[in-house]
Structure 1
Amino acid sequence: MLKLLGDRPLGERDYYAVTHALAQDPVASCMVAARVEDHGIHPRSLGGELWSNDQPMSSLCFSGANLVPLFGTQDDVRIFAERAVRNPRACSSIVGPSELVMPLWEYTSEHWGPAREIRCSQPLLAMAAEPVIAGDPQVRRVRLDEIDAYLPAAVEMFIGEVGVDPCAGDGGRSYRRRIAGLINAGRAYARFENGEVVFKAEIGALSRSVGQIQGVWVSPDKRGLGLGASGTATVVEAIVAGGRTASLYVNSFNIAAREAYRRVGMHEVGTFATVLVD
């Protein structure tokens, strides 16, 4: 029987079991670990549920806006899928280690398919040392009073990466709040030229040990000039200076981005997959 962590009053024993499990692979677990560190493991504060079919060290899945399988056997994945399809779908994607995401999608696709897009091979990259190339001195943290200049680049990046307009539905109010939160936290970086963003990136998830970079974007008219590599190096420098490992995952078909990250010095530590289901 599937045990839902948080289906009963949570004790310290649950929290430490989960955090110990997440520490097994801090790079792959960064997205979930950051939430647990900030909010604990109660579903109401966490913004989702943590599931385990046995013990978190061997079987763990996060179910929220994203469905994130972290550890488990094929039997565990099947049981996670059964739990996921039992109620109306809450997630917009399944993301995590490819060897768990793809079978999880196979089990859930009958109920949730067809997928809008399947990215079955996304190299997971990391580095804990200084970049091997110089960072861009003009890349810096974005100020909140620059949000109106920053947002168009963020929206363009989101549409290009996810395939949907983040401003649809509520006119962009939710997405603006999300970006403002990253800016206020000092986790949005950009290079501005003549008041316009020509490079941007964010630290989307920040755990105690890992900073996961997201949303790397270069203005189309500035591509091929090395801004992606040097800008990313600046963000990596900031993460490493804080005593953390810098990480990101990239689509295997994005050869230009993969080459830029190779130049920075990032190396592959795993393979993620993403299934976009909304």
Structure 2
Amino acid sequence: MRQLFTGLRLLREEDLAEALKLCRVDPAASILAAARIEGALRSGLRDGGGMLLGYPRFGELQAFAWVGSNIVPVNPFGLADFRPALADGLSRHGTAVSSIVGASDEVLGLWRMLVDDWPAPRDIRPVQYSMVLRGAPRVMPDTTVRLAEPSEHGELLPACVAMFTEEVGYSPLKAAPHSYPERVRWLIDSGSAWISRGEVDGRSNEIRFKTEVGATTSEMGQLQGVWVHPSLRGRGLAAPAIAAVAASVASQGRTPSLYVNDFNAPAIAAYERVGFERVGTYATILF
């Protein structure tokens, strides 16, 4: 496989510490890759579900990309030659992915070099606020928010599907009818899925809020998939619920983070109410 990547090298176990060091230049921008690397340090790259392509081909590692079900470029020093090298390597390899996600400059710069050779994307999200919470939440946490239990998988799954469909535009069960429910089960079993229950449309004990700490490193925990039941939106429920999850992440010595579309004004307002501050910009290319 190495000959396919003329300007890159396929990283090995011995390169992981160096790659993780690059992630720490901007932890919020690179958490999606860093989480994969820390997982590989624990259990090996073979079980990581992807590969790491490093730049340059020889010498000290200066940039890299995680390539699995998605592509996450990490180029903390903005090296101009990394993007064409990565684009060439990806085009040669013919990788099929669901998204390209990460720091906006890298994602959009890479996409400009792939656009003529790759399938048309389903959507492009060019501006997504990268936000972190430093210090305690500014609102009182919702004490009803708790970790989801394994017995709640059947109820949590529809909420996850609803959030995904609303966000991306299609049901994940159509694209991944088996792996997506298992992903939700893994989030529950790993202590990453959070919910709040209460009255919804006259029905008691319904799931009214959910989120996941979907990417975790030694430094940071990224909230993903934030969802409030449509019947309860606009009532101020999101901020206290998010505060509860963020406080739990912080209690483990990690900085809470997330990213959100720039056009989602209600969500941004809720995050800012909690105390999240913008520290950068993500972009996502969805296939």
The answer to whether the 8 Å contact 1:94/1:276 transfers is yes
Greater CA drift, 112-121 or 205-214: 112-121
Alignment-mate amino acid for residue 64 of structure 2:
L
CA distance in 2, matches of 1:207, 1:246: 11
Q: 1:75-114, aligned counterparts within 5 Å?
A: 75-114=81-120
Equivalent in the alignment of 1:247:
257
Greater CA drift, 189-198 or 40-49: 40-49
Q: 1:120-269, aligned counterparts within 5 Å?
A: 120-169=126-175, 172-193=177-198, 194-269=204-279
Alignment-mate amino acid for residue 208 of structure 2:
V
- The verdict on how the C-alpha distance between 1:227 and 1:111 changes in structure 2, with shifts beyond 3 A counting, is same
Q: Give 1:75 shift.
A: 1.9
Residue 153 of structure 2 aligns to a residue whose secondary structure is helix
> Gaps (5+ residues) in structure 1?
none
The answer to whether the 8 Å contact 2:138/2:273 transfers is yes
Greater CA drift, 107-116 or 243-252: 107-116
CA distance in 1, matches of 2:266, 2:116: 35
Equivalent in the alignment of 1:47:
49
Residue 95 of structure 2 aligns to a residue whose secondary structure is coil
Alignment-mate amino acid for residue 48 of structure 1:
G
> Are residue 62 (structure 1) and residue 72 (structure 2) matched?
no
Q: Give 1:185 shift.
A: 1.1
CA distance in 2, matches of 1:46, 1:2: 23
Q: Give 1:128 shift.
A: 3.1
Residue 274 of structure 1 aligns to a residue whose secondary structure is strand
Equivalent in the alignment of 2:201:
none
**TM-score for the superposition, normalised by structure 1:** 0.93
Q: Give 1:242 shift.
A: 0.4
Q: Deviations over 1:36-83 (max 9, x none)?
A: 111239652222121122267532211111111110423211110111
- The verdict on how the C-alpha distance between 1:230 and 1:197 changes in structure 2, with shifts beyond 3 A counting, is same
Q: Deviations over 1:104-161 (max 9, x none)?
A: 1111111113221000000100013110111111111110101111111110001111
Alignment-mate amino acid for residue 18 of structure 2:
A
The answer to whether the 8 Å contact 1:95/1:275 transfers is yes
Alignment-mate amino acid for residue 30 of structure 1:
I
**TM-score for the superposition, normalised by structure 2:** 0.90
The answer to whether the 8 Å contact 2:53/2:64 transfers is yes
- The verdict on how the C-alpha distance between 1:57 and 1:28 changes in structure 2, with shifts beyond 3 A counting, is farther
Instruction: State the identity as a percent.
Output: 38
Q: Deviations over 1:144-197 (max 9, x none)?
A: 101111111110001111222111155x32111101111111111111122321
Alignment-mate amino acid for residue 27 of structure 1:
A
Alignment-mate amino acid for residue 179 of structure 1:
V
Greater CA drift, 253-262 or 105-114: 105-114
Q: Deviations over 1:198-237 (max 9, x none)?
A: 1110000011110000000011110011111111111100
Alignment-mate amino acid for residue 54 of structure 2:
S
- The verdict on how the C-alpha distance between 1:270 and 1:169 changes in structure 2, with shifts beyond 3 A counting, is closer
Alignment-mate amino acid for residue 236 of structure 1:
A
The answer to whether the 8 Å contact 2:144/2:196 transfers is yes
CA distance in 2, matches of 1:29, 1:192: 33
- The verdict on how the C-alpha distance between 1:81 and 1:42 changes in structure 2, with shifts beyond 3 A counting, is farther
Residue 107 of structure 2 aligns to a residue whose secondary structure is helix
Q: 1:4-19, aligned counterparts within 5 Å?
A: 4-6=9-11, 10=12, 12=14, 14-19=15-20
The answer to whether the 8 Å contact 2:8/2:89 transfers is no
The answer to whether the 8 Å contact 1:18/1:56 transfers is no
> Are residue 20 (structure 1) and residue 21 (structure 2) matched?
yes
The total of aligned residue pairs comes to 272
